Structure 1
Amino acid sequence: MDFELVRPSLAQFNQASGRSSEDSSLGTRDASSFDGRTSSNPDPYRRTDSPAISVSSVGYQAPPSSSPDTSIDAHRQRELKWVSLMGTVPSAQAKKSKKVKKLLIEGSVPSSVRFLVWSHVTDGKAKGIPGVYAQLGQRARVSASSDIERDVQRCSADHPQMQSNQASLMSLLQAYLTMVPDVRYSTGLTLIAGHLLALSPEEDAFWIFVSIMDSYLRPYFSSNTTQLEVDAALFSRALESNDAQVAKKVLTDMSINPVDLCRPWFSTLFVDVLPLDYLNRVWDLFLYEGVPFLFRVALALFYCCRRRILEAINQDSLFDILNHPSPNWLPPSPDAFIALVYSFKVKDDDVRKQRIKMEAQVKRQTQTPRANPIAAISLSFPRP
């Protein structure tokens, strides 16, 4: 496996979080490799003899907590920093900008400018074509309209932030699905679009959504690619490299298909899984980092739920643990969770290379000819 995975450093994680979560203890892991500090291995969360593990770890450090007297001023300063940065770094260059990454990592993006930051990082404004969204809304209803309406009502009941935007959510999904005929509707689209609408005006949310789909997620929902199967297989390898005991429990003993693990997470961007403030921080970084960041988030969730995973007695209980983790199992703050996420290193170049190799393997195994994912992408814009 070509991934470079760095096990989370307990000292680093505790410095970021102020305490370890309830599931930070790693159960029955062998003391020489993963559990218990010794003079020869001062960091028990990294196995120095593992070829998948880097000898050194450069992890995210959560910023120190602000005092109440300075929190308002700090919030305003962050707003000003983002406004200034968005005025100097072109949106087309945002994903290549070290300044953007530094500011994203330094602390939470202020909620007052979050949708603007997301639009800037995804280059959503550049996707927008004046008048197109309104014209798309005038097209005939898509065949999945009844499914969308059902999911909008259900998701709004589960996510209060979506309740006031049900009509806009229906309109956004209707417009998108008429524009991209290769995309098959699933509930994940409702969850992702609904979360965007909770923070963004409708048309802005639409073009951010288009940008996210085009850049990262569209193959997950297309009938012409095997990308979700590929990424699930890659993640299962990453899990095996990171924690063989948990991987054996989940993938072998319980015979869980990796796709069934990854679909509820990757195809919803964790909207149904993480508390809202944690979710926003994950999105802040995902929109910059891309799909490899989803792998890190998934590894962090396995880490947080580890003891309960090992105690699970059947598939139903395991899926309940993974898809509905208690907030008490997570680090005490969103920034502490991001610190944990960044302690799992996955090389982006390796992911891209392995994706190409794995997709070829999946195609051969399924013996089903698949269209070229690039050639398969089509758009159906309204005529002027």
Structure 2
Amino acid sequence: MYGTKGKIDLAFEYQSQASILRPSIHSRRANLTVKFQDLYEFTVEGNVDDVNVLNEVREKVRQRGRVWWELEASKGANWYLHTTIGQGSALTSSLKLSALSNAITLKKLIRKGVPPVLRPKIWFSLSGAAKKKSTVPDSYYDDLTKAVDGKVTPATRQIDHDLPRTFPGHPWLDTPEGHAALRRVLVVYSFRDSDVGYCQGLNYVAALLLLVMKTEEDAFWMLAVLLENVLVNDCYTNNLSGCHVEQRVFRDLLVKKCPRIASHLEALEFDVSLVTTEWFLCLFSKSLPSETTLRVWDVIFYEGAKFIFNVALAIFKMKEDELLVTHHVGEVINVLQMTTHHLFDPDDLLTVRLVAFTVYVYQFLSFQPFSYPFSYIYFMVSLLSISLHVYFKGTTRSTHIMYFMTNRGYNWGWGRRNLYLVSHKQVDYIIS
């Protein structure tokens, strides 16, 4: 998807210009401002406290790496692949108990962060990228690369335009070699999925995937599984319908989870999509420091896209007091930008406690189909992986109440009747 105008462009433009609204950090603490490289060689600007935090993060990464290696030694190589509990005989079988134990251990470990050296292998296995790659010939990526070489489309022209603007100054990405590798990944995917083609934001996502995965082909398959299986459908298509649904969902969640913030922002006539559009389309890669972004991605690739909302809510929640004393839109953006810019310790973000809560979508008129856009209801269920209680027209008997539990394949169960919601019944979903 390329050349899309509208809210996405406004959001990117507003964010890029917002810096002129705040005093320069140099003018306030010039003697403390330094430039330094983070874990993935991005040059960032911060104060001496940020440098100390980053050093502490590096030590945490080393310590957590030792935990992973000890598990490799005790449970065996690739133990994390054996986390599925099969069907059939008693759950007490040693194999199933082992799988359950592995699954619980794995979720806890991933929440605490995957060591950088293990990320390529862990991501590729757990995200489904390895399985997706196995369904095509080994030469698929090379063949497609050769087939599209030299072809010019509106998507390729937009990609060429965006390459120099993708993480400028990075010692590898901002080189002819880095540009060429990133271009191939983006161009090849634009031909694989013509509905998506290319969309602004994918350049940042693909660039970070290249840094982590090390090879073009693995980065390509990670991009494919991300867009085709992990994220909500149509986030990057021409009309950005999936992205618009995400914004609507997030606004509802903010009202329920952070009502004071939501009320204050509404009074300021602040549209949260001015910041969250970039967060969601770039998966925080343009906003958060690299290691913090990748800690978020660790969870997304394992638990799914619902975690994007947890992170966005946490950013607002952790700065609630500051947001409540803002007086105009520019101040709000500055608070959020400064917050994300200095989140060098992922634990500061990922340990914000978002107590489980329920959001209600009310419907009416049992003899009419529900008026909420179908994509909205479908998105709630498929994305958040919850059970949906559906009541059929004319009855509330338990035999006519169906429970749909979705998974990443977005499987739906259908009854004999058309789907209706009974008057004043509710669809509820839970973030935890």
4+ runs deviating over 6 angstroms: 65-72, 92-96
Report the counterpart of residue 116 of structure 1 in structure 2: 121
Report the counterpart of residue 79 of structure 2 in structure 1: 85
1:308-334 per-residue CA deviation (whole Å, 9 max, x = no partner) reads 323434323423433453554x4x732
User: Secondary structure, in 3 states, of the residue corresponding to 2:286?
Assistant: coil
1:142-194 per-residue CA deviation (whole Å, 9 max, x = no partner) reads 31223212322112316556335221110000000011111152221011111
**C-alpha distance in 2, partners of 1:285/1:300?**
15
Residues 1:207 and 2:200 are matched in the alignment = no
Report the counterpart of residue 273 of structure 1 in structure 2: 287
Distance 1:236 1:218, change over 3 A: same
Moved more, 71-80 or 263-272: 71-80
The Cα shift of 1:270 comes to: 0.5
Report the counterpart of residue 131 of structure 1 in structure 2: 139
CA contact (8 A) 1:108 1:281 kept: yes
**C-alpha distance in 2, partners of 1:70/1:230?**
40
Task: Summarize the alignment of residues 324-335 of structure 1 with structure 2, pairs less than 5 Å apart.
Answer: 324-325=338-339, 327-328=341-342, 330=343, 333-335=345-347
TM-score by length of 2: 0.58
1:254-296 per-residue CA deviation (whole Å, 9 max, x = no partner) reads 3233433421111111001111111111111111222221111
CA contact (8 A) 2:285 2:293 kept: yes
The Cα shift of 1:226 comes to: 2.3
| Aligned with 2:322 (options 286, 308, 312) | 308
The Cα shift of 1:339 comes to: 1.6
The Cα shift of 1:336 comes to: 3.9
TM-score by length of 1: 0.65
Report the counterpart of residue 169 of structure 1 in structure 2: 182
Report the counterpart of residue 338 of structure 1 in structure 2: 350
**C-alpha distance in 1, partners of 2:330/2:206?**
28
Report the counterpart of residue 164 of structure 2 in structure 1: 153
Distance 1:323 1:79, change over 3 A: farther
Residues 1:322 and 2:336 are matched in the alignment = yes
CA contact (8 A) 1:78 1:110 kept: no
User: Secondary structure, in 3 states, of the residue corresponding to 2:154?
Assistant: coil
**Bigger Rg over Cα:** 2
**C-alpha distance in 2, partners of 1:299/1:210?**
27
For this pair of structures, how many residues does the alignment match? Answer: 290
Distance 1:266 1:344, change over 3 A: farther
Moved more, 275-284 or 317-326: 317-326
CA contact (8 A) 2:233 2:242 kept: no
User: Secondary structure, in 3 states, of the residue corresponding to 2:166?
Assistant: helix
**C-alpha distance in 2, partners of 1:282/1:67?**
16
CA contact (8 A) 1:266 1:294 kept: yes
**C-alpha distance in 1, partners of 2:302/2:141?**
25
**C-alpha distance in 2, partners of 1:196/1:169?**
10
Root mean square deviation, CA, Å: 3.8
The Cα shift of 1:67 comes to: 9.2
**C-alpha distance in 2, partners of 1:159/1:344?**
38
| Aligned with 2:210 (options 182, 188, 197) | 197
The residue type paired with residue 77 of structure 1 is E
The Cα shift of 1:335 comes to: 2.9
| Structure 1: 5+ residue stretches without partners | 1-64, 364-373, 375-384
CA contact (8 A) 1:109 1:284 kept: yes
Identity %: 24
Report the counterpart of residue 244 of structure 1 in structure 2: 259
Greater share of helix residues, 1 or 2? 1
Structure with higher RCO (Cα < 8 A, 6+ apart):
1
**C-alpha distance in 1, partners of 2:355/2:194?**
37
The residue type paired with residue 153 of structure 2 is V
